[in-house]
A and B are shown apart, each in its own frame.
Chain A
């Protein structure tokens, strides 16, 4: 019996390792090619770099300087951090107001937010871009406002769900003690919301960091472009000549920060994504 069981376990492990190899192979292949010289990338993408095909960190230097990668990286970081901060702060306040001030108006507003979660981006793509330009929001600061508007649906929905489960009495006690609603919210309510705030932050960060179409339409491919836009421009030859080595290095540079972030905050990310899926 025992030997049969260990045979089964061996089979499962073999299967799992094979699957893991399949899952990691694409990333591994990109890593390999990022240290190969141009000719060998398109000619033999699956060969191991050695001798004359090995290019060292040359590709990374090119990828970094040619396409002004650093600028795009910083743009993405700036937009993601401040949009997520704004979303967490503003939508948690909004959700608390909507739940606590019950009335027909707040109900309508709530359902508008929920409705916006369903509508695909293509529906508002053209008109939204027009208003962004008309109102002068087509820059790194303005796009944050747009992201707050787009992130509001899911975020208000998730915060509201949690706030409904918090007993009112705690807040009422704070009010009786003389706290204004603003003080009550930041000293009493927001600390309780922390787990949901982490989930909301992770979901929005992943979306905004990887988002392509919105920043492409609003910010374009100029100086304020984000990382996905820079990658797309470079790989479709938007900057003139295609330098395959530099492009592979760019792909690696685009993935590495996400993977590092993932390995450190894995627990929160997986929890957040599952919570978002079940509620959304």
Chain B
């Protein structure tokens, strides 16, 4: 069968491969190349070696600033989202009536797009701050915490669903045996439930990690105007599109170099995740 199927290459493989090449493969290869050039448009790159990369870490401070901000944002989001999501999952696996209804409600914000979410929260946060006569641009901290609240609202339901699945997979007899041995509910939480849901913890940690690290739409809609609250993805976008004039070619080169470093950081996170999940699979 393999031989006959092989001849059908133009039907089965070619259409997907062609669109893949146009939208990802060629742009990716050109993107890597252009990060070593200065270019006004894709076809007129002039080789400058590592200049763009050096500039990112020396004269142009926005990259290191937004990288630091993104790291802070990611750490805070990962911790808050996972703690709250896990707690809610615990409440919803007690076998109470109406659990499904609550699950439906908590998951819902996840389906709303980042742009719409950003504007909803912009109205609410500015509404609250309005009582004190200020708005979200008044202090960078407001924008930062606003974005943390937004991410929590969006992702808690999603992580909760994964935690619920993990908790429901724990066999009942473990808790029953512990109860017979006189373990308190708190003891059985720390010695049975939490160790048993570690695979879910790994998945959720990395999902929140990559989602927070790559956040763009929410950032743009909520507090995108201020440079002080621009995370990495938004900073790269602004480097490309917010500049005009003589140095345009240099800005484009810088933006592309930032994008390469951003990609490497994301790839490193993904690689660690792959290793972590593989190890878990061996243990079980």
Give A residues with C-beta under 8 Å from B: 9, 12-13, 15-16, 19-20, 23-24, 26-27, 29-30, 33, 41-42, 45-46, 90-91, 93-94, 96-98, 100-102, 109, 112-113, 116, 118-128, 130-132, 135, 137, 145-150, 152-153, 156, 168, 171-172, 175, 180-182, 185, 206, 209-213, 228, 231-232, 235, 247-248, 251, 254-255, 258-259, 262-263, 266, 269-270, 273-274, 277-278
Contacts and interface: CB of A to CB of B under 8 A. Distances in A.
Contacts of A153: 24
A119 B263 contact: yes
B153 A118 contact: no
Contact of A231 (B4, B119, B203): B119
Nearest to B158: A273
Contact of A122 (B9, B41, B88, B233): B233
B20 A118 contact: no
A232 B123 contact: no
Contact of B162 (A119, A269, A277): A277
A127 B31 contact: yes
Given A101-B2, A182-B8, A119 B28 contact: yes
B115 A228 contact: yes
A228 B165 CA distance: 32
B111 A100 contact: no
B86 interface: no
B12 A228 contact: no
Contacts of B161: 270, 273-274
B102 interface: yes
A45 B127 contact: yes
A126 B92 CA distance: 45
Given A118-B266, A175-B4, A128 B113 contact: no
A97 B78 CA distance: 39
Contacts of B157: 23
Given A19-B88, A212-B114, A213-B237, A123 B263 contact: yes
Interface string B121-146: 11110110010000000000000000
Given A93-B12, A149-B23, A266-B104, A123 B260 contact: yes
A150 B27 CA distance: 12
Contact of A255 (B116, B221, B260): B116
Nearest 9 pairs of A and B residues by beta carbon: A210-B113, A149-B23, A45-B127, A149-B19, A127-B27, A97-B12, A124-B27, A128-B27, A130-B42
B20 A146 contact: no
A122 B237 contact: yes
B83 interface: no
A175 B1 contact: yes
A120 B27 CA distance: 12
Nearest to B150: A26
Nearest to A134: B42
Contacts of B126: 45
A100 B153 CA distance: 43
A20 B99 CA distance: 12
Given A212-B216, A232-B221, 14 more contacts: A24-B105, A109-B17, A112-B25, A124-B27, A125-B259, A128-B24, A131-B42, A132-B22, A145-B19, A181-B4, A182-B11, A209-B113, A258-B111, A278-B203
A84 B146 CA distance: 33
12 contacts: A45-B130, A46-B127, A91-B16, A120-B259, A126-B255, A127-B30, A128-B27, A131-B26, A131-B42, A181-B8, A210-B113, A278-B203
Contacts of B20: 112-113, 116, 148-149, 152
B222 to A, nearest CB: 11
B119 A15 contact: no
Contacts of B96: 9, 12-13
Contacts of A232: 115, 220-221
Contacts of A24: 105
Contacts of B25: 112, 116
B193 interface: no
B259 A131 contact: no
Interface string B26-48: 11101100100000011000000
Nearest to B42: A130
B112 interface: yes
A33 B120 CA distance: 11
A87 to B, nearest CB: 9
